[in-house]
Amino acid sequence: MKTFKGIGVQLVLSFVVAICVSIILVSLGSLNKTRTAINGNTKVTSGQTLEAAQEGFTTYLKTLSQPVDLLTRKNEIKHLEDRGDIDTNVTAIKDSLVASVKVTNGAELAFFTTKTGLRVDGWTEINPDTGKTSNKGGLTRDVNDTNQSWYKACIGSKARNSIYSVFSDPYKDSKSGKTIFTVSQEIKYSDNSNYGAVGLNIDFSEVEDYVRTIPDFPEKGIMFRDVTSVMQDPEGLQLAINGLNDLVKDVDYDVVVGPESRGFIFGTPIAYVNHKAFVPVRKKGKLPCETVEATYDLEYGTATIEMHKDAIKPGQKVVIVDDLIATGGTTEAIIKLVEELGGKVVKVIFLMELAGLEGRKKLAGYDVDSVIIYPGK
Q: Kindly give the confidence (pLDDT) of every residue in the chain, 377 residues in length, as a single tens digit, with 9 standing for 90 and above.
A: 333 333 444 454 445 444 444 333 333 333 343 333 334 443 444 444 444 444 445 556 677 788 888 888 888 887 776 655 677 788 889 999 999 998 887 889 999 999 989 999 999 988 888 888 899 999 999 999 999 988 988 888 765 545 678 888 777 788 777 888 898 999 888 788 888 999 999 887 655 444 446 667 656 765 665 556 556 666 556 777 887 888 898 899 999 999 998 899 999 999 999 999 999 999 999 999 999 999 998 766 789 999 999 999 999 999 999 988 888 999 999 999 999 999 999 999 998 787 778 899 999 999 998 877 766 66
Give the active site residue among 76, 262, 306, 332: 262
CA 233 to chain CA centroid, Å, is 16
pLDDT at 74 (0 to 100): 84
- Domains in the chain, CATH or no CATH each: 7-207 (3.30.450.20), 247-374 (3.40.50.2020)
Q: How many CB atoms lie within 10 A of CB 289?
A: 8
Catalytic annotation, pick one of 81, 299, 339, 358? 299
SS3 content of the chain, % helix, strand, coil (to 5): 35, 30, 35
Alpha helix ranges (H) inside the chain: 7-19, 31-39, 46-72, 75-78, 86-103, 149-154, 228-231, 234-246, 262-273, 329-340
Model pLDDT, residue 154: 86
Residue 119 designated active-site: no
Q: Any catalytic annotation for residue 219?
A: no
pLDDT at 233: 60
pLDDT of residue 340: 97
Distance separating alpha carbons of residues 135 and 123, to the nearest angstrom: 6
Q: Please give the model's pTM, rounded to 2 decimal places.
A: 0.53
**Cα–Cα distance for residue pair 317/110, rounded to 1 Å:** 40
